[in-house]
Structure 1
Amino acid sequence: MIPVRGYDGHKVGVLGLGRSGLATARALRAGGAVPVCWDDSPDARQKAEAEGFETADLNRDASWEGMVALIASPGIPHLYPAPHPIIDRALRLGVAVDNDIGLFFRSFATDDWAELDSVPRVIAVTGSNGKSTTTALIHHCLKAAGIPSQMAGNIGRGVLDLDKPGDGEVVVLELSSYQTELARALAPDIAIFLNLSPDHLDRHGGMGGYFAAKARLFTQGGPERSIIGVDQPEGRFLANQMREVAGNGDPVIRISNTQQIKDGWTVFARKGFIAEWRRGRQVASIDMRAMVTLPGAHNHQNACAAYAALRAVGMGPRQIEEGFASYPGLAHRSQLVAERGGVRFVNDSKATNADAAEKALLAFDRVRWIAGGKPKEGGIAALRPHFGRVAKAYLIGEAAEEFAATLGGTPHEICHDMATAVARAAADAEPGDVVLLAPACASFDQYRSFEVRGDHFVELVHALG
């Protein structure tokens, strides 16, 4: 646990008592604060009370007496499309609003670090797609090289639930826009921006607000090293902002999977290889073509970002290559589930929007595509240029009819549910095909999360016999 500093003896509200909320309450109490907790769910309140936490209805004025801060869980809106009533009350009362990420960064470093040979460092990863894979890949490579590491944030543990870091340890955080937007303190040693595609726009008031939320990790966080994907205008702008005034590019490592960049410190993917260039010359390259757990250009971008971060903490190219080769893959992200009779079954249930599904489709040449669920704005219209890769689509959930209309003459079948889709795709598949779950939809019409959806796909594949 990371005890929260700065609130000793003070009353602090905790809004939302899920995984991060309860971890926040524990860390506040460990640091001497007096947490007062609230969640709309009676079950969540009961769980907090069982751990000895005080609960109080923060919708009532009396609960706010003496409160100095309100810590909100990331899923609770604080500005757009409208502030949660309790957060709005805090804003009206002048009570500081923060989240667990802000508490983590203000509490991570401690006085006893002066006794360490090498102080702990934080790598923070943000972007629209690929955050989880990049975070997990960095963490895996560090562990494989014998470097102590912990992983948290939007993946794994809550940030305040981490163990106290030791000498030379590296903490790797996946941070969503929800987390970076509200945090009052951001101080990563190394920050990564992967890419930007439309998502959560109602929460951020449009693309400008969405980009601004992610950019705070850099512009407010002031990392020693910024690793920035420059295949989009937003990334190029951010990289320019983080360069030193004199034009020295060393604080920024630019990454790309669409272009060769050979000035400054760069890492780019081309024709299945990752190349590192510094000061106008190539210093290393890695052959990614045989790495089955990192397929496709989108995973090569993730690998570029991970490679740059690992180089920034002092790992050598060959160490990194060995880590990539032993990476087992991350569940629900281009996860190779099985191979039967020359047919591969791949679980990319995390592909919850069209942009992520596009990256999954581009990773394979001939796809039996399982898609659908609770549709998002725009559907799959943007994927029309890639329908030629689809041998046949098997459509499930609320989006099935809409997706069928968009697919037009591309072979497709409305299957309604996952079991039917897997059975039909497996029966139709030929050697060389990939049966790919890349829904381009949220899961909430049929599953409580994309993880449960992916687990069901894996279960059905293994049951094929």
Structure 2
Amino acid sequence: MIAVQNVAGTRVAVLGLGRSGRATVRALEQGGATVVVWDDGGEARAQAEADGLEVRDLTKAKSWDGVSLLVTSPGIPHLYPQPHPAIAAAWDAGVPVDNDIGLFFRSFATDAWDGFGTRPKVVTVTGSNGKSTTSALIHHILAESGRPSQLAGNIGRGVLDLEPARDGEVVVLELSSYQTDLARALTPDVAVFTNLSPDHLDRHAGLGGYFAAKRRLFAEGGPDRAVIGVDENEGRYMANQLSEGPGDDRVIRVSSGTKLEEASWAVFARKGFLAEWRKGRQVASVDLRSITGLPGAHNHQNACAAWAVARSLGLGPKAIEAAMRSYPGLPHRSQRIAERGGVAFVNDSKATNVDSAAKALQAFARIRWICGGLEKEGGLGPLVPHLGSVAKAYVIGREAAAFARQLPGIEAEVCTTMARAVERAIAEAQAGETVLLAPAAASFDQYDNFEKRGEDFVAEVRARLG
């Protein structure tokens, strides 16, 4: 547990009592604060009262007497499409609003670090797609190389649930736009930007606001080193903004598909090979094609970013390559779950938007594609150029028929349920093909989250394969 600093003797309000909210309460109490809480759910409030916490309706002006800070959970809107009433009330009362990420950055360093031989570091990873895989891969490389490491943030555990830093440790944080948008302190040592594609547009009032939320980690955080994916204009812009010129190696540019030989420091992948270039010459190369935990060009971009971080932390190429080869992959992200009769089964339920689904479709040669769900803003048009590898689509979701009509040039069967889709895909799949779940849509029309959807796919496949 990271005890929050500089809150002793103060009263702090916590809005939202999910995973991060509960951890925030404990960390504030450990730091000596008196905590009051509110959650829109009656069950969460009742549990808080049973735990001995003071529950206040923070939407009421009178609830702010004596409160010096509000800490809100990342899923609660603080500006768009409109601020939560409790946050608006905090503004009116003149109470600062922060989140657990801001508390972490102002509390992680302690006096104990004076006795360390090597100062701990924080690596942050943000972007639209690939940030979970990149974060987990960095953590895996560090662990395999014998470097103390913890992984938290938008993946795994809450940031304030981390253990206090050890000598030489590296903390790897996956951060969403919801987390970077509000945090009042952002001071990573190394920050990664993977890529940008339209997502969460209602929460950020459009693509510009979404990018601005990501950019805060670099513009306000001032990392010692920035690893920037430059396959989109937003990444190219940010790399240019952060760099002082061609010789500035504080910015490491990464790409999947583009040679970056002119940059002072770059890591890129082409045709399955990763190359690291520094000051105009190649210093390392790895064949990524046989690394089963990182299939496809999108995962090769993730590998480039993780490689760049590991190199910036002083790890050698051989150690990084060996660790990559043992990387098992993450559940629901290009997760190979079975193979039978020459047919592979891959769970990419995390492909909840068009861009991530397009990347998944480019990773395999011939695909029986399970797709569909709660369609996101913008439609499926950008997917059309990437349907060439699809032998057939099996569409799930409550609006499966409407989804299927947006897939021109391929056969699409309306299945509605996961059980029917898996049954039909298995019946028709041939050796050399891949049955791929990459929905290109949110899960909330049928499932609580993408994890539940992926678990259902895995269960249906295993039940039928025996």
TM-score when normalising by structure 2: 0.98
**Structure 1 Cα separation of the partners of residues 236 and 341 of structure 2:** 45
- The answer to whether the 8 Å contact 1:102/1:183 transfers is yes
Residue 403 of structure 1: how far off its partner (Å): 2.0
Alignment of 1:57-456 (within 5 A): 57-244=57-244, 247-263=246-262, 264-456=264-456
1:51 maps to 2:55: no
Offset at 1:112?
A: 1.2
- Rounded Cα–Cα distance in structure 2 between residues aligned with 1:315 and 1:52: 47
Check whether the contact 1:379–1:403 (CA below 8 A) recurs between aligned residues: no
CA shift digits 1:267-308 (9 cap, x unpaired): 000111100000111000111010111011100000000000
- Indicate the RMSD between aligned Cα atoms, in angstroms: 1.0
Residue pair 1:370, 1:435 contacting (<8 A) in 2 also: yes
AA at the equivalent of 1:259: T
Q: Tell me whether 205-214 or 49-58 shows the greater mean CA deviation.
A: 49-58
Deviations 1:378-398 (A, max 9, x none): 332211112221100000002
**TM-superposed deviation, 1:163:** 0.6
Contact 2:132 2:155 in 1 (8 A): yes
Which runs of at least 4 in structure 1 moved beyond 3 Å after TM superposition? Answer: none
SS in 1 for 2:134: helix
CA distance in 2, matches of 1:218, 1:409: 42
2-structure distance, mates of 1:17, 1:74: 11
Instruction: Tell me if the contact between 1:349 and 1:439 (Cα under 8 Å) persists in the aligned partners.
Output: yes
CA offsets, 1:150-201, max 9 Å, x none? 1000000000000111011110000000000000000000000010000111
Contact 2:384 2:408 in 1 (8 A): no
Deviation for aligned residue 1:59:
1.6
CA distance in 1, matches of 2:134, 2:292: 15
CA contact (8 A) 2:60 2:86 kept: no
Q: Distance in 1 between matches of 2:17 and 2:200?
A: 22
The amino acid that maps onto 2:46 is Q
* Preserved CA contact (<8 Å) 1:267 1:275: yes
Amino acid at match of 2:425: A
Letter in 1 for 2:113: W
| Partner-residue secondary structure (3-state), 1:256 | strand
Which letter maps to 2:251?
V
**Aligned-partner Cα distance in 1 for 2:229–2:47:** 42
Measure how far apart 1:461 and its partner are: 1.0
Moved more, 303-312 or 381-390: 381-390
Amino acid in structure 2 at the alignment position of 1:407: L
- Structure-1 separation of matches of 2:279 and 2:82: 48
Residue 381 of structure 2 aligns with an amino acid whose one-letter code is A
Q: Distance in 1 between matches of 2:312 and 2:46?
A: 45
For 2:133, the aligned partner's letter is T
Structure 1 position 247, deviation (Å): 4.9
Post-superposition shift, 1:44? Answer: 1.2
**Conserved 8 A contact 2:60-2:89:** no
In structure 2, distance between residues paired with 1:66 and 1:24 = 19
Is 2:257–2:271's contact at 8 Å kept on the other side of the alignment? no
Task: Report if aligned partners of 1:99, 1:179 keep a CA contact under 8 Å in 2.
Answer: yes
User: What is the CA–CA distance in structure 1 between the aligned matches of 2:112 and 2:135, rounded to whole Å?
Assistant: 27
Q: What's 2:23 paired with?
A: 23
String of CA shifts for 1:109-137, please: whole Å, max 9, x gaps.
00110100011110000000001000011
* Residues 36, 55 of structure 2: 8 Å contact kept: yes
Structure 1 residue 416, shift from structure 2 partner: 0.7
**Counterpart contact for 1:20–1:100, Cα < 8 Å:** yes
> TM (normalized to structure 1)?
0.98
Name stretches of at least 5 consecutive residues in structure 1 with no aligned partner: none
Q: Which residue identity does 2:440 align to in structure 1?
A: A
1:400 Cα deviation (Å)?
1.1
Q: Which residue of 2 aligns with 1:457?
A: 457
Aligned equivalents of 1:260 and 1:83: distance in 2? 44
Which deviates more from structure 2 when the two are superposed, residues 383-392 or residues 97-106?
383-392
Aligned residues: 464
Structure 2 stretches lacking a partner, 5+ long: none
**Which deviates more, 449-458 or 248-257?**
248-257
Structure 1: how far apart are the matches of 2:112 and 2:408?
64
Asked if 2 retains the 8 angstrom alpha-carbon contact of 1:25 and 1:35, the reply is yes
Supply the AA of the counterpart residue of 2:155.
I
Once residues 438 and 113 of structure 1 are traced to their aligned partners in structure 2, the CA distance between those partners, rounded to angstroms, is 45
Shift of 1:408: 3.4
Once residues 53 and 309 of structure 2 are traced to their aligned partners in structure 1, the CA distance between those partners, rounded to angstroms, is 39
Amino acid at match of 2:90: A
| Contact residue 293 and residue 329 of structure 1 kept, 8 A | yes
Amino acid of the structure 1 residue aligned with 2:451: E
